Every structure is written in C-alpha cells, then in structure tokens.
Chains A and B, each alone.
Chain A
Amino acid sequence: MGFKTPLFDTHVAAGARMVDFGGWDMPVHYGSQIEEHHAVRRDAGMFDVSHMLIADVTGARARDYLRHLLANDVAKLKEPGKALYSCMLNERGGVVDDLIVYFMHDAWFRVVVNAGTRDKDIAWLQRHSGGFGVDIKPRTDLAMVAVQGPHARAKTAALLGEHGAAALELKTFFGRELGKYFVARTGYTGEDGFEVMLPAADIPAFWNALKSAGVKECGLGARDTLRLEAGMNLYGNDMDENVSPLESGLTWTIAFDPPERDFVGRAALEAQRQAGVPRKLVGLILEERGVLRGHQKVVAPGIGEGELTSGTFSPTMERSIGFARVPAATADHVQVDIRGKLLPARVVKYPFVRNGKVLV
C-alpha cells in the first residue's frame, strides 16, 4: 500500500488504472493515455500532482540560503510571484533534485519538489539551513492540480469566482496567492496552463468542478509523453545524484554568474567545465518503426556509445522520440539497439513539441 493523495478515491471511482509512483498510488490513465495526451495539446486536461511536495522557506535570510543551496540564482527573482526552475546539487555536482521556486516576498520562498525524493529533499534542505536561520515548512496541508492546455486557463479561471480575473492576468512563470488558492502559470507539458494549490480538503470539489467544465482527467502516462515532447527532464530518468546537470541538458539552469556566488556543487561543475564535459543529452527521433525506451544502448559510429535516458511514442508526432546521454562529439545520426537490432535515429534539438506545434 502506497501513500494516497486526497484525490485517491476520486481516481478510483473514475475507473483510473492505479500504479505505484515513487511510493504513491497514482493514476496512470483513466482509459486512454493517448486521448488524455491529445486533450492537453488541443483543449484542457488536468493532473493530480498532490504527491509532489510543497515547502515554504521563510526567514530574513531566505534568499541568501537559496542562493547557497540552488544551482540557479534566486537573485534573478525580483518581482513577487516570479518562479525559477533550478537543480539542487550535491558537492560532487550530481543532481539531488530539480525543483521550482517561487519568490513570494523577501522573507518567503515556496519550493515544489519531486514526490519520489521528498524525504531526501527535506533532509537536504534542513542540513544546509545552518547559519541562515530559515524555517522550512512542508505544506502537507496543501494539494495540487495541474490544469494544462490551450483552454486550461479560461476553464480554470471560471471556477475561481472573484479571483478569476486576477488569475488570468498572471504572466508566464508567475504564481500568486488568491484567497485559499495559490495559482501559478507553470506546468510540465509544454502547454499554457495553471498549477493550482489549495487546501487538501477542498481539492475533490475543485477537481469535480473542473471535470464538469470539460477538463479531461489525465494520468501520469500522459504527463510523461507530454513532458518528453516538451523537452523537459524527468528526475531519476534523465539525471540523478551521479550525473552532472552539464551532461543532462541543464546547463542553461546553472547560474555561474556572479562568479563569487558559492553554491553547493559549484566547484565540481567548474572542474568539469575546465576538463571538458564528456557527454551531452540529446533528443532522438527513431527513423524506423519501433519505440525508444530508457536504457536502450545508443551507438554513435566511430565516436562511442551512450544510453537512452527516456523514450516513448510521441502521440503528437506519431513517431518514437527520446533523450539520450551520448559522447559530446556525437553528430546528427546514431543507432539505437532495440532488441538486438540497430535502428537509425536522428539527433535533434528539443523541445519536440510546444504549444501544440511540432518543432523538429
């Protein structure tokens, strides 16, 4: 028996197929994963993401603390509500987790971390808080639903009553407290939409209202195909504690400037940069029929070998796509070992799909 979100009974009653995900009993789909995927690309879909952990970091030195702890720099956050994606690194430069941090005000930041790493993350946050005088409070009283798709914001805002207009005014990658809701224009699908946090007791009614408004229930299966198309990393697949963000397509999230900011893992990353980063994460499109999957071997003829970190069938492109960690010198074409056969794949820059449009 795994942990259950406040929507567990709602999912079961809706006929969801439940699976274990990082110790949580979560819906993988409610009938058709592909239909759920298309609903998000074309209209609006919703995901129960209450298994992720929301934590509030408060204290006069909260910003200094996060500038030390995170590889991206929260000093970039100047307007209240603005969000930032960052990795949290260990001293070896490996990725402890990736997270979103919202700047609420100078003494309050809100972070959202992965479900499978929540205990480890809280321990890590606590361990590095010494000397900063910050308070780290897991908000297990809150639940979260992600509503995503071209019509997601309009359908959600209509249910927020007096707060609807304010929600619609949110700029991309901003969040705001609106009454009992915290509404953020963020997501993990490559579509516009909201992530809404609210008291756990209120979430079944909110979910049902969204469903009545025509927002399709979506499981973790569609969440995975959507994020892969959108070119977004999945912690535990595409990076982990033993791999550098510089080899995980996450160099853009590392704030090396200003040089005097001494964040955890900086020295290791600097050393790796100096020595030359040996591998890179690339997007692949399989050129023949078949399906790319994590851990398949990738061969770059004359250069070396690598491995798929994620792979799936893309419902939008009707092709198989994936991410692979390969030697840095890898060029445009590789081969993937699928059940003993070497099939050709094209190396591409991801994202594969954004806002309903195929980009590769």
Chain B
Amino acid sequence: MSSIPADLKYLESHEWARLESDGTVTVGISDHAQGALGDLVFVEVPEVGKALKKGNAAAVVESVKAASDVYAPVSGEVVAANESLGSAPELVNQDPYGQGWLFKVKPSSQDELAQLLDAKAYEKVVASEAH
C-alpha cells in the first residue's frame, strides 16, 4: 500500500500539493505515482517565474519506461524548482513527499487549493485504479 499523507491535497492525476506557512504551494507526485512509473531517470521542472494554469502540464517526469506530464494543481507563478532532481531524479522515487518535491507555486488564489482532493478521496482514486 502506498503512502498518502493526510495533510496534503491531491489531483486525480496523482500530483500532491502542500500549503506552506509562507502561503506558497509545494507540488510533487504521489508515492503511488512514483511506484507506477518505476525508476525515474529524468525530471524537467518549470522555470522560476513561469506562470502556471491549473490543470495544464507544468513538469515532466520520465521513468525508464515512459514520460508523464505533471499537471499544475493550482494557478500561479513558479517561485522555486527542485534543481537537485537534475542530477538525482531518483529522489522522487525515494522520498516523493520530501526531497522529491518538484516545484513551488505562489498561487493566484486560495480557492483552487480547497477544490483539490483530500487524502481520503485520493485514497479512493488509487484503490479504484488497482481494479
């Protein structure tokens, strides 16, 4: 069973979002997603300053098998990107909710975050995919 921290918000497409104390939102992919992708070998993060629109592709994670888009859970401006993934994409596999974060967004509104799935709802998404 993959880990689904209760304090995060999720997208059905397996991204997680965490509201930080400074008002920014950190984004990554879930433990389930990293497991399904397998060993990651390349991560393309968005450039700082880029404007993201909720639901649009914002980053790309590539495993040995395939490339997958990572969608922006909220609209806003990219304020940080995890540059260490350039040389160590495996951090996403090893620590998807910690060192494997992808980018941080300064959200243009707070409403979008509230619309995301909570851990319980995301757990159901993962369970339904297993069947």
Contact = CB atoms under 8 A, between A and B. Distances in A.
Interface of A: 17, 28-29, 32-34, 221, 225, 289-291, 293, 312-313, 315, 320, 339
B39 A291 contact: no
A29 B42 contact: no
A29 B63 CA distance: 12
B67 interface: yes
B86 interface: yes
B116 interface: no
Contacts of A33: 38-39, 63-65
Contacts of A17: 36, 38
Contact of A291 (B36, B38, B67, B86): B67
B64 A293 contact: no
Nearest to B62: A291
Contacts of A339: 60
B41 interface: yes
A34 B62 CA distance: 13
B38 A28 contact: yes
A244 to B, nearest CB: 29
A289 B42 contact: yes
15 contacts: A17-B38, A32-B38, A33-B63, A34-B41, A221-B65, A225-B64, A289-B42, A290-B42, A290-B44, A291-B41, A312-B64, A313-B41, A313-B62, A315-B64, A339-B60
Nearest to B86: A289
Q: How large is the interface on B (under 10, 10 to 19, 20 to 34, 35 or more residues)?
A: 10 to 19
B127 to A, nearest CB: 17
A339 to B, nearest CB: 7
Does more than half of chain A's interface fall in helix, strand or loop, or is it mixed?
mixed
Contacts of B67: 291, 293
A291 B89 CA distance: 13
Contacts of B44: 290
Contacts of B62: 290-291, 313
B37 to A, nearest CB: 10
Given A225-B64, A313-B62, A34 B39 contact: yes
Given A225-B64, A293-B66, 17 more contacts: A17-B36, A17-B38, A28-B38, A28-B65, A33-B39, A33-B63, A34-B41, A221-B65, A290-B62, A291-B41, A293-B67, A313-B41, A313-B62, A313-B64, A315-B64, A320-B42, A339-B60
Nearest to B43: A289
Contacts of A34: 39, 41, 64
A315 B42 CA distance: 12
A221 B38 contact: yes
A112 B53 CA distance: 52
Interface in B46-100: 60, 62-67, 86
A40 to B, nearest CB: 14
A339 B42 CA distance: 14
Contacts of A291: 41-42, 62, 67
B64 A221 contact: yes
Contacts of A225: 64
Interface string B1-45: 000000000000000000000000000000000001011011010
A305 to B, nearest CB: 21
Contacts of A29: 38
Contacts of A293: 66-67
Contacts of B64: 33-34, 221, 225, 312-313, 315
Query: Which residue, of A32, A34, A221, has the highest number of chain B Cβ atoms within 10 A?
Result: A34
Query: Which residue, of A290, A291, A293, has the highest number of chain B Cβ atoms within 10 A?
Result: A291
